[in-house]
Structure 1
Amino acid sequence: MDAEAQESFREFVANRSSALLKTAVLLSGGDRHAAEDLLQNALVKAVGRWNRIDEPEAYVRQILYRQQVSRWRLKWPRRELSVAEPPEASLGADAQSAAELRMVMRGALARLTARQRTVLVLRYFEDLPEADVARLLGCTVGTVRSTTHRSLARLRALAPELAELGPGDAEQPPSRDFSPVEVGP
């Protein structure tokens, strides 16, 4: 690797590693150490092909997703992450509510299977369409839809307190009435 490519790689890591680490943390269920390993392995794989990569961030994200898929296919399950209770700090109501929401969400995501967590992260955090998620994970769009549906249902069951912390009823979309209507002559 020449000096120019080496400097380009260093700039990429300096500028994009925090965003990539956030995705890796979500993919690993909140386990920061596993996320750092996931990202480091992805960057090691990318540096070997750095001169041939057109879109570095997309390439590294693709490696992250595929490594996560490989992890959930391992025979031995990963151990669960134990987290301490949140500290009772004197934060403002909004900051404390947001921090509480993040902790509840992280805990609930950690209790999902790796496949469920990965699908939700790709669909809602990365905001990818179902077809792209299916292509990245090597499955059908129908599998992505059903996994998303089941994952959201399990997330709601695991953390019913998310409904209390989330948006109020005023922001819910209006319900549609599909009852039959009589039409006169």
Structure 2
Amino acid sequence: MYKVIGTTKSRAFRVMWLLHEIGEPFDHITALPRSEEAVRFNPTGKVPSLIDGEAVLTDSVAIMTYLADKHGKLTAPAGTVARARQDAMTLWLIDEWDAILWSAAKHSFVLPEEQRMPAIKASLKFEFERSTTQLSNRLDGPFLMGDQITIPDILACHCLNWAIGAKFPRTDDKLFHYAKSLRERPAFQAASAT
């Protein structure tokens, strides 16, 4: 059985949600970032980590991609044009949303106080809003890649939820309703209760 190390208030939530979507059981080991338990599985102290037998995997997107490929769910097959487009969307979300939200978090509470630059958050919110408009224009169906939920949907919804928690402005009704429909999925609800 898989083991997921992290908390539901971290990127580990993405992995737990994906596991619920694909119907794979897992044990959850609660560990805060940089805690002794987190460092035990990842020397950087970052979460999540996934234990699969003897293997320890890190990075939420790498873990999600591994699991989706291994079980043949929530992903286009490797080596296809559809997969290349899916990977492009995943990487765009990491670059344009996740990285911006992480930078805002670093300048809010992660970095030592003397290293924080609160003024940067205004430009980060501007960048996020611009990217939100771009993503909204690309959303042409119930999910980002068409008629089926895939890794980019989990990533996008998690980032939208993170943005709400970080007090980024809600700028797009289309994406708000898209994320709301994802949050209503049974697998999302199950992961939230983990």
Establish whether TM, by shorter chain, passes 0.5. no
Tell me which protein shows more helix as a share of its residues: 1
- Determine which structure has more spread, i.e. the larger CA radius of gyration: 1
Alignment TM-score, normalising by the size of structure 1:
0.29
